[in-house]
Structures are given as structure tokens and as C-alpha cells.
Amino acid sequence: MKLFLPLNVYEAALERIRWVFDEFPNVTVDFSGGKDSTVVLNLALQVAEEKGRLPLKVCFLDQEAEWQSVIDYIRVIMNDPRVDPMWLQLPFKIFNATSSTDPWLMCWAPGEEWMRDKEPNAITVNTYGTDRFKDMFDAIPRTDYPNEKAVRLAGVRASESPARMKGLTSYETYKGATWGRKQDEKRGHYTLYPLYDWTDTDIWKAIHVNKWRYCPIYDAMFQHGVPFNQMRVSNLHHETAVTVLYYLQEIEADTWNKLVFRLSGINTAGKMKADMFVPKVLPSMFKDWAEYRDHLLDKLVTDPAIQTKMAANFVKQAKDWDDEKVLRDLHRNQVSQVLTNDWEGVKFSSFVASHASTRINAGSKTTSKYGGWRQTSMEDGNKELA
């Protein structure tokens, strides 16, 4: 059920961020250079100025294999006098979906030839106790604020996927707010998403109405015909980002050349395009997608530990479905997991979201007792209460 309230998304986001500043002594904006984090940053700067909390700490975890347009934009942001820059260019590893023989990029590893030089004001020593990208976001506040409350503001939105919609409206994160994630409740560490109910239209209207500077890679992608929901500014080789390799060479040829030199599998992925990762037709020599999956797992995945892990994942993934057509779709999804060396099962989460209604014992839909908020648009002044 949706109840409409007299507030638009812009006003609601400012209210949320003001509340965040009142609740937390340490506020950091996680910045990627993307459109969503651009809006979060500008709203947070406005509130920080209102409350005398400038400069605002802004964190960019540099994954090395980034669009050059993003890096140029990040430099502008980090040199803003209102910003306390936290540009992390330290050793950690991030998954490479384009190769089963070279599955990791060791970002900023000593002795390697990086895609570009480090920034003069960057943090280059990893003191956070982890070398995994996804774990860094919890490790940073745990290290920097071990005995203080701290919050990170980020640009995740519910409209991006059904899983995010459920996660951002169903469970309490902090003092009744559902729009976030608990990092370390005992220490008082949280990540909150004040734009969780915004649409793509809301994001772009806010940028243009306020004349905020944004990363020009979006203009290049638009001119290239990239669909809005596929415009990504994050790293260039993760399993959720490999589609950018299909047009990277045309938009940023120099970045393409550096990436091909830096990481194996890139050139093949860029040339084969979608057929490399999501085959549309079952090869004639296999009786079904499951047999094709097992063949690929045996021939392409060379690390025995990863091979065993993926095989176990496939068994677990299949137990909640019994419909023949759905299982066929699942096996095709698992083929894609093998082709991208996705041993963590990231692609499976997308499958679950698109087939939720056919899942065995999926459970009934429930409404959060905390009442997750959702705005309808910037224009109409209405707010929906989930």
C-alpha cells in the first residue's frame, strides 16, 4: 500500500541528510564520480555548510582500472576547498571477470606498471587489514573511528533492482530508518542512502536545475547509445561492469590500450562482446545448458578451489526451484557465472530477483513495520509510504 505525503524527493533527501549530521559526529561521502554520488555530495555539502561542518570528508576508493573521464572529474572534486579529500590508491584486489587464468587485478600493487601515476595527495598505504575491495568500506571506519559513531553517505537507490527495493524498505537500519546498512552496530557505524527513493529522472533533474558539475562520460555514453540503466562509471572489468568493454575503445582509446596491457582477457571480452558472457544459443553438441555448464566448469576454471566452490554453489542455487523452464534459465545463468569466473555468485542474485515469484517457499510479501519511504518524483510533491 502507498500513502502520498506532501514532500518531494529533493526536500526529503535534505531532511534526511540534516538528520544524519545531527546524529553523527563523523560523516563521510562515498564518492565514485557517478551521477548518484554527485547528487549526494552536493546535498551533503549544502547541509555541511548550513551546520558549520565544512570541510566535508569525501572518500574515493580508486580501483585503478577506471574511466579517465572519471579520474579527471574526481580531481576537480577533491580540489574543492569545501572537501576534505580521502583519495585511496592503496594495494587491494578486485575481481577480473574477463579471464579464468588471471582472475584478479592487484590494484596499485608495488612493482607493477599501473594504468596511471598515483595522485600527490593520495593515501597509498593499506592500514585497513583487508585486501578485498568489498570489505574496505567496513574496514575504513573501523580503523579511522574505532571508538566513535560514524556514517557514510552513498548513492544506492531502490529503483535499481527489486532486491535493493526490498533491502531499503523492509528492515530497520538506524532509529527507524530503513534506507541504509548496518556496518558495525556496536561501534555505531552505518552506511545510509538518502536518495534511495529517487528515480533516474530525479537525479538528472537535480543536476541540471542546480547546474552541478557531473562526469562527462555520461554524455559520451548517451551519444554512443548506451541505455540509461547500463551507464556505469565504476571499474571496467568486474562481472557487473564488463559491458563497458564493448564500447570503451571507441570512447576512450587510450584507456582501452592501457587496460589491455594491464590485464589479461580484456581484448577478447571486448571483441566477442555479449556472446562471451551470455550465450543466446545452446551449442549443438550439448543436450542442455546444465551439460554445457559442467563442460565449461571443467575446461575453463583452472583453480581447483574455485571449481569446487562453484560446483557447490550450483547445487545450492538449484534447490529452491522445481519448474523445468526456470531451471533451464538457471543453468544458462550458471553458464554465465562460469564464463565470468563468478565464483561468488553475483549474477545469481539477478536471477533470484527476476524469478522470485516462482521460488519454492518464497514466503508471503510483508510490509515493514518501519514504513520505508519512497518519493514519486521531484515535480509532483508527493511521497509514497511503502
Of 17-31, 201-215, 266-280, 370-384, least confident by mean pLDDT is 370-384
* CATH architecture type of domain 8-211: 3-Layer(aba) Sandwich (3.40)
Mean pLDDT, residues 58-71 taken together: 96
Q: Give me the pLDDT at residue 382, please.
A: 35
- The number of helix segments (H) and strand segments (E) in the chain equals 15, 11
Q: Give me the pLDDT at residue 183, please.
A: 95
Question: From CA 180, how far away is CA 163, in angstroms rounded?
Answer: 13
Domain residue ranges in the chain: 8-211
Tell me the CB-side half-sphere exposure of residue 62, using CA atoms within 13 A.
31
pTM of the full predicted structure?
0.78
pLDDT at 252 over 80: yes
- Quote helix, strand, coil % in the chain, to nearest 5: 45, 15, 45
Q: Give me the pLDDT at residue 125, please.
A: 96
Question: From CA 70, how far away is CA 241, in angstroms rounded?
Answer: 15
pLDDT at 294 over 70: yes
Render pLDDT for 322-373 as a digit per residue (tens, 0 to 9). Answer: 888 999 999 998 988 888 778 778 778 778 877 766 776 554 333 332 333 3
Per the CB < 8 A criterion, the answer to whether 85 and 58 are in contact is yes
Q: Give me the pLDDT at residue 163, please.
A: 73
Between 276 and 297, residue with greater pLDDT: 297
